[in-house]
Every structure is written in structure tokens, then in C-alpha cells.
Amino acid sequence: MQVQDFGFGTQIRKSPYFDATVRWGAQGFSVYNHMYIPRDFGDPEANFWNLVNDAILCDVAVERQVEVTGPDAAAFVQMLTPRNLSNMAVGQCKYVLMTNASGGILNDPILLRLGENHFWFSLADSDILLWAQGVAVHSGMDVTITEPDVSPLQLQGPKSGEIMKALFGDEIADLRYYWFREMELDGIPLIVSRTGWSSELGYEIYLRNSEYGDALWERIMATGLPMGLKPGHTSTIRRIEGGMLSYHADADIQTNPFELGLDRLVDLEMEADFIGKFALQRIRDNGITRRQVGVILDGAPLATPNTRFWALSHQGQPVGKVTSAVYSPRLQANIALAMVDLAAAELGTELEVTTHEGPRQARVVEKPFFDPRKELAAGAKAASISA
């Protein structure tokens, strides 16, 4: 298949790995952060098993970076998130939320601290570069906010550690969960982190010069192929099993952290101010009216993941919506994340779901659905580390 067969224009950017992913079998793309992202390398169930049994390499250059530098960078970054960053070290990553003045979630990026006053927000799908630049205009802080030439790959799966050792040497095994190092591979400048959007053991490899995109992809694939590495895409099955959020589906500007059970990412007692602090204090004091839950849907395996929100009802009354749903071949169940009224959020509550395939019965269950302590991603010895 030739690149031109897709009929792509210039309004939406291609990643530095775009041509390589087409060569390696990418059959479909979607758009994320105004860029094309491979979403189809064939059978999504085969992609899932490749991920959980071996390893996959994913083009996630769509995780654009917002770089914040300058004398006031640390204070400015803290203003953008309710998570307390006072103990964040250089070389560390943290999963954070970004909120607006109403406490609504704007993004849920990974934050990397490259220096005392040097940060990257590695983004989910929303225009945080524009938001951060707008906030900076009247902040009175001395900061510079740019999008650097940085394009991540994800190498994920149980064999990713061995592949990384073959690429970088045995010392890479010492890299801790949610930490990173500046490295090179064949002279290619990189940052390598122990993070990923898979709930499996994995790494993110941040390319710092897009000219090397093709060479980096081919180098990793050539090294990993004998160990079972396959080209792939982020797995909807695995991320729902792990209860991981997809922005615009499971969270958006109308969702607050407490509804998602992410209280640990909000520190309302710290001295530092942040956007949305007063609103989140009110929400905490007044209580929430809905909550995200896990749901099991009865019936035959869902043919495809949901591409729209499905209405949920309880005893004939509307109570919320399914935000993400898929069939898990490992769990042999239709699993879903849903946002429901508090009255319908208790474990075991019976619900009715209106799917594109017709009505189904469902019930509220514990989430995540698999590996709730993240032992696979963090390693058994580090599973209690807060990311």
C-alpha cells in the first residue's frame, strides 16, 4: 500500500514515523492532536495478544510536548495542575491533571522534569499549547512556552525490557517506574522513560530530532523482531482492562477529578495556588452527584468498541452513559467504563444499556478489571509507587 492511497492532506500533520508505519502494515489512521495516528495494523485482538504476550512498537508522536522553561517555570507548571509537585525531582515523571477555573479537566498528561526550570507536558488530545500560552500572557511570570521537536514511540509488553537491554545495554534495567534518562542510540538524541499507555511493562522513547524518525523505527524493529516484537497500536482492550482514561471519552472539560476517583491527584491543602483550586474546594465540600464505575455487559462479545456514548438506565430511569466499551478476550467479558449517578454507582447495581447492537443488561463491578495494583507496569517490587 502506498502512502498516497490514504489521500491525506497537509492540514493535519504526519509523524516522523508515518512512512515506516505504512511500510510495516498500518491500514487505518485517526486524528489526535491534529496529527494522524495509526489505529489499525489488522486484527485488534491479535494486537492485544502481541502486547500482553510479547511486545509492540507504537507510533504515539501525537502525544505532543508542551515545553515550559524560564526562571518561573516551576511555579507556572504548578499553577496548571492540582497535583502537588513540590517533591518532583529532575528526571522524574508524574501523571497529572490540568483543570480550568471550574475544576473541569482539560488534559491528563505525563509531566517530565528535565531540569530545575525545564518541563514537558506529554499531552492527551487537547490544545494545551494554546491554553498554556494564553495563561502565561497575564501571569506575570517569566516563562517561555513552546512545542519542541519531540516525537514519542511506545515500546510496550513483557518482552520490552529485554529489547531495551539489547538496544541500550543492561543498565537500562535500573530505570525506575515513572523516571526517565537522556540517552542516545546510534547518535540519535532521545529521552527514555518507564511509562506508557498500556498497563503493561513498557517504555516511551522520545525522539528529539524528527529527521531520525525512520531510522529510529527501523532500528528498534530490527532489534526486537527476533524477540517477538510486532508493529502495533495502542490497545483499547488493554487500556480498558487497566481502567485507563481516554480523554474526550472517559473525561472532558465537564468532568472533575473527584468524579473519576482521582482525589490523589488533587492537593487542596498545599500553599501553592493553581487554576481551579476554589472550584475544586467547593466540589469536594458539596460532594459529587455522579461517579465513574466499571461495568460488565451481558450477551455475546461486542463486535467492535463503542464509537458513541451508550445510554444507561436503572429501573427504567436514565442514570448515565457508557464512555468506553470493548470485549476482552482474556477476561471473556464485555467490559466498560461508565459515568453514572451516585444512586446507581454501588457495586452490583443492575443496569440496562442501549448499544448500537440493541439493549443489553449490565452490572456495576470493581475497576480496573485486570491487575489493579499495576504490578505488570510497575514491576512487583515497585507496584506501590504512585505515578
Phi-psi region of 160 (alpha: psi -120 to 50; beta: other; left: phi over 0): alpha
Q: How do residues 140-198 score in pLDDT, each as one tens digit?
A: 999 999 999 999 999 999 999 999 999 999 999 999 999 999 999 999 999 999 999 99
> Dihedral angle at the C-alpha atoms of 53, 55, 56, 61, nearest 10 degrees?
130
Closest CA relative to residue 32, chosen from 98, 127, 133: 127
4-26 pLDDT tens trace: 556 677 889 999 999 999 999 99
Instruction: Tell me phi and psi for residue 185, to 5 degrees.
Output: -135, 115
Question: Can you tell me whether residue 249 is helix, strand or coil?
Answer: coil
Q: Is the pLDDT of residue 53 over 70?
A: yes
pLDDT for 217-254, tens place per residue?
999 999 999 999 999 999 999 999 999 999 999 999 99
- The Cα–Cα gap between 115 and 289 comes to 40
User: Can you give the pTM of this predicted structure?
Assistant: 0.95
**Res 342: pLDDT:** 97
Q: Tell me the C-alpha distance between 343 and 110, whole Å.
A: 33
Please state, in angstroms and rounded to a whole number, the distance separating the CA atoms of residues 32 and 233: 13
Nearest to 343 by CA among 373, 364, 359: 364
CB-count exposure of residue 363 (10 Å: 0-12, 13-18, 19+): middle
What domains are there in the chain, each with its CATH number? 3-64+149-240 (3.30.1360.120), 65-146 (3.30.70.1400), 289-387 (2.40.30.110)
Contact present, 10 and 220 (Cβ < 8 Å)? no
CA 77/CA 59 separation, integer angstroms = 27
Neighbours of 289 (CB within 10 A): 10
Q: How confident is the model at residue 349 (pLDDT cuts 50, 70, 90)?
A: very high
Q: Residue 381 above 80 pLDDT? A: no
- Other Cβ atoms less than 10 A from the Cβ of 301: the count is 13
